[in-house]
A and B are shown apart, each in its own frame.
Chain A
């Protein structure tokens, strides 16, 4: 584990065992998140981005879901670079250790703030619950003040009144702010934001993105930002991982990814969206086909059936590995690696 890494995931596989078969929602994902940095995860529905996040917090419902392989290493404590990291994948999902991590060291902001707040309790009570649970030194009488302070920090006006409001009394943008206030109430070192602005209007989205960036600078937390919006990722991320059908297909720092995308899927995504700052095209350059059904993933490279650079006899033989094409830039594609290497590895493995 690198010196400044806060979380490192190694070859994570989360599978769902359903009646129809096994869904390999996350199938061999590795990445690390460094302190104070933002990792953006981008992908379409079914690519495994949310399951990856839920696996970290051990929120994957079991059955049917199981982490069948891999490690999720978290470095706990403040000055603990010498301390042995905890493997979250081995913890009991209902046990005390993961519960002391959830909400305290790693917290999460969800897409739909209405479903993540309980409707029966005031915003303030829900924030206070989290504070009292994780910060034993805070007295119950002070928790309310802290909750108000947290709401004020995320830009909620009249925080001393809003603290007693129920979730349904707030607008979408305000609820999302309150959600962030709750997530940040225990100063986590890692914030997982799963499509936090997708349900919001663009002007409110802009406010929330600015708020997250400002709070990250202030508290130095790391952020794992999950979205399908390339514009949002370009704005918030330091590093980006592009996922397709349970695997990372390309990973690099954000400038390199947008300037020099190498995987045909990444190129396709970037080409397919309308760019408001460029000349209007007569037609959008769409990616052919649809994301395949999880039970009908093509053999070889999972993107091969939609890929414009498909090479018969190569791409359909084995799943390409992640090859480093320049320092820090990894691509899973035979345009950048050799299929024979993968085939020998498979044979050696047996």
Chain B
């Protein structure tokens, strides 16, 4: 991938294998290939949506990027102030110092906040840990951040249990953003919230992105939410990216059979919707024992002989539209149709 000036993050051939250990001696009997050769790039100020079903490795990818995990192999390059930082090579101390540039927002606002800490302590902790601010300055910065996420200064001395799910998620967002990171990995940030609160939090994340000049990797399974926030979307299946494109392009003109099925499976809030649902037989492959060839072939409706033996590469089909399918240029696939909304 060519290095451009406005790139913030480059990931090349990222692999994360978790060993399967058995028996008393903890012998390694195999590997769960949670992430198996993922390459992607994120530009400054953009949102890259990463979608896929549970177990496809999207969360693991996000965690490798912020170095919660040390990846088995691959490069993670962070472009900051004209320099390249190779995150995969950083050691403990350097990594700790660098962490303020990349933060994570978690799915579950109930388990991701320490119940024994007040809002002030929760949001102020990262500033203390990195020695960015203390005392009155810390309180001022926390108050400013808490206001920015739609909470009030009166909330500062309270504990997480006195807040609703949506408010807790706001606390989690404040905690992630208070040290002004460059990159934020949002891991299913709205899927645990009520419907009416989801849209508030999505709006908040978008507002904060433009206010604070943030770059998001937005990991989620809900296609309609991902489309709302993302400039580009990457679709992941059993440890591999199968398609990457501009988000409207991907939705209207999907080129990988898995993306097509994923789009058709989204339940439409419209009882007149008459699109033919493409049913997907079976279940995702086991990442510890992935099938040879294309990982999607056992469930693919367009499967041919070559799919069972050869792994398709992620090729650029048209500018910015990457697909990993042997027949990407031949298949006529169905995307969303927003030009003619289906009426009664």
Contact surface of A with B, Cβ cutoff 8 Å: 44-45, 171-174, 201-207, 209-210, 228-235, 237, 254-255, 258-259, 268-270, 272-281, 283-287, 290-291
Contacts and interface: CB of A to CB of B under 8 A. Distances in A.
B54 A201 contact: yes
Given A276-B224, A279-B338, A290-B164, A205 B273 contact: no
B297 to A, nearest CB: 16
B68 interface: no
A270 B203 CA distance: 16
A102 to B, nearest CB: 29
B251 interface: yes
B283 A204 contact: yes
29 contacts: A44-B194, A173-B283, A174-B283, A202-B265, A203-B261, A204-B53, A206-B267, A207-B280, A228-B195, A229-B195, A230-B195, A230-B269, A231-B266, A232-B267, A234-B268, A234-B271, A235-B268, A235-B273, A269-B196, A274-B199, A275-B269, A276-B268, A277-B336, A277-B337, A278-B338, A278-B341, A284-B228, A286-B203, A291-B196
A276 B54 contact: no
Contacts of A272: 195-196, 198-199
Contacts of B197: 290
A278 B227 CA distance: 11
Interface of B: 53-54, 164-167, 194-200, 202-203, 206, 221-225, 227-228, 248, 251, 261-273, 277, 279-280, 283, 336-338, 341-342, 344
Given A204-B283, A205-B265, A255-B344, A280 B271 contact: no
B48 to A, nearest CB: 16
Nearest to A287: B196
Contact of B203 (A209, A233, A284): A284
A175 to B, nearest CB: 12
A273 B201 CA distance: 12
Given A173-B283, A274-B224, A283 B268 contact: no
Contacts of A258: 269-272
Contacts of A230: 195, 269
Contacts of A235: 267-268, 271, 273
Contacts of B206: 283
9 nearest CB pairs, A to B: A231-B267, A284-B199, A286-B199, A230-B269, A201-B53, A272-B199, A44-B194, A287-B196, A206-B265
A226 B136 CA distance: 50
A280 B336 contact: no
A45 B267 contact: no
Contacts of A275: 224, 268-270
B200 A286 contact: yes
A276 B223 contact: yes
A45 B194 contact: yes
Nearest to A202: B265
A280 B268 contact: no
B271 to A, nearest CB: 5
Contacts of A286: 196, 199-200, 202-203
Given A280-B228, A280-B248, A291-B194, A202 B200 contact: no
A209 B341 contact: no
A230 B198 CA distance: 13
A277 B227 contact: no
Nearest to A174: B283
B47 to A, nearest CB: 13
A195 to B, nearest CB: 13
Interface centre among A231, A276, A281, A285 (most CB of B within 10 A): A276
B195 A273 contact: yes
A10 to B, nearest CB: 28
Contacts of A44: 194-196
Given A202-B221, A229-B267, 19 more contacts: A44-B196, A171-B283, A202-B53, A202-B262, A203-B265, A203-B280, A205-B265, A206-B277, A231-B267, A232-B267, A234-B270, A234-B273, A235-B271, A272-B196, A273-B199, A277-B341, A280-B227, A286-B196, A287-B196
Contact of B166 (A234, A237, A290): A290
A207 B279 contact: yes
A274 B338 contact: no
Nearest to B261: A203
A290 B167 contact: yes
